């Protein structure tokens, strides 16, 4: 399987793979229009049903009616080309905010940061969470999350 998106970093590809796998509900290696909609909404986009069909028609290069991972990378690299840092932070937050409550559990954030991508040590993540979770309630709200990711 060849990934056509040369303009994506290894880290971006890993993040896309994680999002793809999360929404490939049946584990079949493809996502359908419904699953694509979930994935895009989790990444901060709000496609209509017609837009989803257009995307599948445009990026489904093998004509299967489903999106395979390389096709997903091509599609998202075009979409991501127009996204700024704040949008990226919002997308990352929405992926973690599974129930749409506007908060993420610090335990879920810790698991992600110690197991995926550029892995941090538990101590590094604990320091980040302690810094970000100002009210000490064990959850990060959107504002705390943004402060954590944008502070130096």
How do residues 9-41 score in pLDDT, each as one tens digit?
788 888 888 888 888 878 888 988 888 888 777
Identify any residues that bridge with 30 across adjacent strands, giving them in sequence order: 68
On the question of pLDDT at 85 being above 70, the answer is no
Identify any residues that bridge with 139 across adjacent strands, giving them in sequence order: 105
Tokens of 108: 């879920």
pLDDT of residue 138: 87
pLDDT of residue 152: 54
pTM over 0.85: no
């Amino acid at each position: 399987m060849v990934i056509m998106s040369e303009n994506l970093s290894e880290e971006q590809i890993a993040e896309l793979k994680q999002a793809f796998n999360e929404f490939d509900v049946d584990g079949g290696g493809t996502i359908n229009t419904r699953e694509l909609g979930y994935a895009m909404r989790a990444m901060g986009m709000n496609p209509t049903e017609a837009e989803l069909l257009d995307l599948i028609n445009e990026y489904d290069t093998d004509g299967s009616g489903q999106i395979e991972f390389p096709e997903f990378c091509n599609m998202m690299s075009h979409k991501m080309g127009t996204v700024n840092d704040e949008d990226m932070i919002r997308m990352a937050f929405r992926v973690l905010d599974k129930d749409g409550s506007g908060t993420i559990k610090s335990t879920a954030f810790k698991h992600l940061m110690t197991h995926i991508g550029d892995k941090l040590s538990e101590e590094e993540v604990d320091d980040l969470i302690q810094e970000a979770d100002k009210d000490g309630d064990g959850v990060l709200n959107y504002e705390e999350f943004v402060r954590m990711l944008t502070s130096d």
